[in-house]
Amino acid sequence: MKGNKAKLFGVMAVLLVGAGLLQRTAIYPSWKKNFAPRQQGLSSDLSPDQLLVAMAGFRELIAGILWVRADSFFDTGNYDAILPIIRLVTWLDPKQIDVYSTGMWHIAYNFTDEEQRSDRRYVPPALALGKEGAENNPHTYEMFFETGWLWYHKIDDDHQKAVNWFQQALERKDIDFIAARKNLLSNALQRNGQVREALDFYLKLLADAEKVYEKDPSFGNQQNRDTIENNIDTMLVRMSQRGWFATQLGYRDQGEYDIDPPFDVGFSAQVTVEDPMVLRIRGSWNVQPVGSRIRFILRDSDFPNAVPGGMEWDKTDSVSLDPPKNITYVQDGLFVRNRRFDRKIDMSRDKTMYPCTKPDYVIEFFYNPRSAPPHIQDKFGWNGEGMTDKNFLNTEIRPGSRVIFATLKLTRDQLLRRGEWIDRVPVVQTPNYVPPKRLKDEPRMIAVPSTRAETAGGPNEPAPELAPSK
């Protein structure tokens, strides 16, 4: 028996080595690739009991129950409660596209201070959630489209990213069911400065839509075809008026186009710290038609991943619901009315959103005509060819596009009204800032005269007198 025992131990050892080798070399890599539950943030976000429940089967069931529960939180606006659920549900059941898309939208758009929605630290995790959702659901277009939309609409910068995501969405067959969504790629291409590609894409869509209509002449298919046709018409007119063809064909200098001559937007700005953490931002923007939004950023001077006029939004893959507590990034749009902007940003209410722990801060003003609405782009062109500014025109920070970019500085003491600033109101401003003359009785009506007819006006020109509305 002694000898037998040694033999049996030998057999066990051989089997163990065999099983171990099989596990390490063949099974685990394949398991990880094909069968592993997604675990981004697993170690920090899921407690062992949640894990246990999850692994004991019923993942989809529990995910379903949780999502139903989250619904009630949506109704009550209890966003803090929803976010962990989103993380848990998507981990339990990575195929819940609804949860991914709603969750992503939610984190990016709503999970910020309720009044101002200026804290943008949540955009990267939202983006990461979108990326994860797409990775986990590669057979459907949905998460690719949704993530593209986040880039296109919420971030509205680095437009190549939106283009890439929409292109990936288009590779998925099931986008055909909602044909209209395809058009968005053309818009993204225009924002990315790829005007020809945008047109080409429309033409391809038209050809496809015609084929579909031939096969099945239903009302829906007809409408889809007509919409694309109209879009192409509009686009061709714009391309012509904005001098695109002339530029391409080399006779731009032979005629007057809508974008000529470049219009000086006359940007100036002043930031006043009215109370601790309460900013008043005023300034001039010499564009009368409504629709200009100037990006305002207040961030730590050493904010990681910062780029002029924004940040590298997709630097993280972690869907962390706890953004770093010690960094500050405020971004918002300054809406222009009557050639002025005047906005109050109150950051004093929610301390968790704007920690302001660093000593020095940078304020940035940024305007990219690529994001402008068509009626303004008609003057400015796709890339800002029809726009200029005496002081703040910048052609470097966004290659291929002429943008407006200005920076100011603020210290923590100023922001918090401490030290010497307890009694003195801190005011920082661009050198060219002149207070607008008439703020009290400005007309309530928004007039939309054409920018085309106007000559380049100085930044300090008062708003024209307008007839009050009836």
Partner 1 sequence: MRVILSIASTTVGEAIRRRVLLIILLIGVLFLAVAPGLTVLSARQERTVLIGMTLGIIQLTSAVIAIVLTVYMIPNEIERRTIYTILCKPVQRWQFLVGKYLGAVAALGLMMALMTIVLVLVFALQQGVQQMDQLVLLAKAPAMFFVQMSLLAAVAIFFSTFVSPLVNFFLSGGLYLVGSLFNSFFEVISSNPNSPALAKGFATFANTILPNFANYNVQNPIINPGQIIENESIYYVRVTIYGLLYIGILLVGGIVIFDRREV
- List the Cα angle 427/112/326 in 5-degree steps: 65
What's the CA gap between 366 and 334, in Å, rounded? 10
What's the CA gap between 237 and 273, in Å, rounded? 46
Would you call 392 helix, strand, or coil by DSSP?
Answer: coil
What's the CA gap between 314 and 161, in Å, rounded? 10
Task: Determine if 24 is a binding residue for partner 1 (CB under 8 A).
Answer: yes
Task: Determine if 55 is a binding residue for partner 1 (CB under 8 A).
Answer: yes
Instruction: Specify the stretch interacting with partner 1 by CB under 8 A; choose among 12-20, 116-124, 359-367, 407-415.
Output: 12-20
Half-sphere CA count of 353, side-chain side, radius 13 A: 23
CB of 39 to partner 1, least distance (A): 6
Are 293 and 333 contacting, i.e. CB atoms less than 8 angstroms apart? yes
Helices within 156-218 (DSSP H only): 159-171, 184-191, 195-215
Site string for partner 1, 82-101 (x = CB under 8 A): -----------xxxx-x---
Strand 306-307 with 268-275, pairing? unpaired
CB of 432 to partner 1, least distance (A): 49
Nearer to partner 1, 16 or 448 (CB): 16
Nearer to partner 1, 14 or 446 (CB): 14
Are 369 and 267 contacting, i.e. CB atoms less than 8 angstroms apart? no
Nearer to partner 1, 62 or 184 (CB): 62
Task: Determine if 15 is a binding residue for partner 1 (CB under 8 A).
Answer: yes
Distances (CA, A) of 258 to 25, 190, 203, 252, 327: 66, 18, 25, 11, 44
CB of 35 to partner 1, least distance (A): 6
Query: How many C-beta neighbours within 10 Å does residue 431 have?
Result: 6
Running DSSP on this structure, what letter comes out for residue 397?
Answer: S
- Selected from 47, 60, 114, 307, the binder of partner 1 by CB under 8 A is 60
CB of 96 to partner 1, least distance (A): 7
- Selected from 23, 72, 301, 357, the binder of partner 1 by CB under 8 A is 23
- Selected from 47, 65, 240, 324, the binder of partner 1 by CB under 8 A is 65
- Selected from 8, 207, 307, 446, the binder of partner 1 by CB under 8 A is 8
Task: Determine if 26 is a binding residue for partner 1 (CB under 8 A).
Answer: yes
CB of 5 to partner 1, least distance (A): 6
Task: Determine if 176 is a binding residue for partner 1 (CB under 8 A).
Answer: no
Residue linked to tokens 């291929």: 400
What's the CA gap between 320 and 263, in Å, rounded? 44
- Selected from 42, 206, 397, 416, the binder of partner 1 by CB under 8 A is 42
Contacts of partner 1 in 114-143 (CB under 8 A) = 138-140
Are 252 and 246 contacting, i.e. CB atoms less than 8 angstroms apart? yes
Burial of 29 (0-12, 13-18, 19+ CB in 10 A): exposed
Instruction: Specify the stretch interacting with partner 1 by CB under 8 A; choose among 7-15, 103-111, 127-135, 330-338.
Output: 7-15
Q: Which tokens is 411 given?
A: 């210290």
Residue linked to tokens 């993204």: 188
Please name which of 334, 324, 280, 276 lies closest in space to residue 303, comparing C-alpha atoms.
324
Instruction: Specify the stretch interacting with partner 1 by CB under 8 A; choose among 19-27, 227-235, 292-300, 456-464.
Output: 19-27
Distances (CA, A) of 414 to 31, 250, 279: 56, 53, 11
- Selected from 67, 152, 201, 202, the binder of partner 1 by CB under 8 A is 67
CB of 65 to partner 1, least distance (A): 6
Task: Determine if 400 is a binding residue for partner 1 (CB under 8 A).
Answer: no
- Partnered with residue 272 across adjacent β-strands are 280, 427
Nearer to partner 1, 97 or 232 (CB): 97
Q: What are phi and psi of 115, to 5 degrees?
A: -75, -50
- Selected from 50, 64, 333, 358, the binder of partner 1 by CB under 8 A is 64
- Selected from 3, 56, 177, 423, the binder of partner 1 by CB under 8 A is 56
What is the size of the binding site for partner 1 (CB under 8 A)? 49
Task: Determine if 61 is a binding residue for partner 1 (CB under 8 A).
Answer: yes
Task: Determine if 39 is a binding residue for partner 1 (CB under 8 A).
Answer: yes
Task: Determine if 32 is a binding residue for partner 1 (CB under 8 A).
Answer: yes
What's the CA gap between 243 and 469, in Å, rounded? 36
Site string for partner 1, 138-157 (x = CB under 8 A): xxx-----------------
What's the CA gap between 188 and 182, in Å, rounded? 11
Task: Determine if 22 is a binding residue for partner 1 (CB under 8 A).
Answer: yes
Task: Determine if 173 is a binding residue for partner 1 (CB under 8 A).
Answer: no
What's the CA gap between 327 and 101, in Å, rounded? 27
Task: Determine if 57 is a binding residue for partner 1 (CB under 8 A).
Answer: yes
Cα 195 to chain centroid, rounded: 21
Interface residues toward partner 1, by CB under 8 A: 1, 5, 8-9, 11-12, 15-16, 18-20, 22-24, 26-28, 30-37, 39, 42-43, 51-52, 55-61, 64-65, 67-68, 93-96, 98, 138-140
